[in-house]
Amino acid sequence: MRSTKVLTAVSGSKRELWSRTVSVVLVLLAALALGYSADAQETRDRRDNDGAALPFKKTQMRIELNSTGGDAGLQFDLDADPWRMLEIENPKGRVIFSVKSLGNLKALGNTELFTESNEPPFDELPLKEFLKKFPAGDYEFDAITIDGEELEGVAAFTHTIPCAPVILSPSDGDTLDPDAEIVIVWEPVTNKVDTGSKMGDCSNSDDIDIVGYQVVVDHEGVVPQKRLDVKVPADVTQLTVPAEFIVPDGEYKVEVLAIEASGNQTITEGIFMTSN
């Protein structure tokens, strides 16, 4: 049998060894904890970054007013990475447009989208009532990509609408010589529409920023359709129609659009014919 002295010595050695072991373990655990803490923060940061919504490439919401037809419509124009579901919310947070891809298109996804609302005439839906339905402000575009990521964008929507361009030449209904140069000329637009009017009347306010014009010429009644579509800067107020586009005994529809900085635009239409 061991003596009490020996047993005490052995017991003391075990306690010292256990103490050193515990100390080493605690040091290791502390180091690991620091490492885990750093890794966890990095993971959280990465998750936060990964969780940020992707931006749309393009989001626009605009009014198109047709002064000749006497109506107005709402247009959405967007572009983004492939998405399978889309919603647009008005400034009050209410969803006013929603689209969802199904079947094989759900996996393939969509990218660009242009859509235009119905355009009831002003005697059915006056301009001021139309604008009440769609208040000015920021409209939020939200989508889900085919990979399950979020897309977010904002379109600033205004009620600043340009007055109608006045086409100086050719006059509506003119018959022109197909062998002569045909030049479409219009007056520059310097005022905006009175949004309190029923019929989209022009106001005296010149608080407007015209960024350009668009001229569309359609050769009516031919297959395939022949169309000339040109955008010009705001300081240009005429466009020469290429001779190759003109034929004898033709009928042509002309549209001149004034485009405001917000994207809102107003159309004036006209018709001209060519002789034999």
- Residue 139 maps to which CATH number? 2.60.40
- The pLDDT of 211-227, averaged and rounded, is 96
Domain residues for 28? 1-52
- Do 226 and 188 lie in a common domain? yes
Structure tokens at 201: 């009347």
Most confident of 4-18, 43-57, 125-139: 125-139
pTM equals 0.79
- The pLDDT of 204-227, averaged and rounded, is 96
Using CA atoms, how far apart are residues 33 and 173, in angstroms rounded to an integer? 84
- Do 172 and 269 lie in a common domain? yes
Domain count, the chain: 3
Q: Give percent of the chain with pLDDT exceeding 70.
A: 82
Among 96, 122, 157, the domain boundary falls at 157
Q: Is the pLDDT higher at 91 or at 28?
A: 91
- Do 65 and 152 lie in a common domain? yes
Percent of residues in the chain assigned helix, strand, coil, to nearest 5? 25, 40, 35
Q: Give percent of the chain with pLDDT exceeding 90.
A: 81
Among 132, 157, 182, the domain boundary falls at 157
Q: Is the pLDDT higher at 41 or at 99?
A: 99
Domain assignment present for 162: no
- The pLDDT of 204-219, averaged and rounded, is 98
Domain assignment present for 179: yes
Q: What is the pLDDT of residue 23?
A: 53
- Do 16 and 99 lie in a common domain? no
Q: Is the pLDDT higher at 7 or at 156?
A: 156
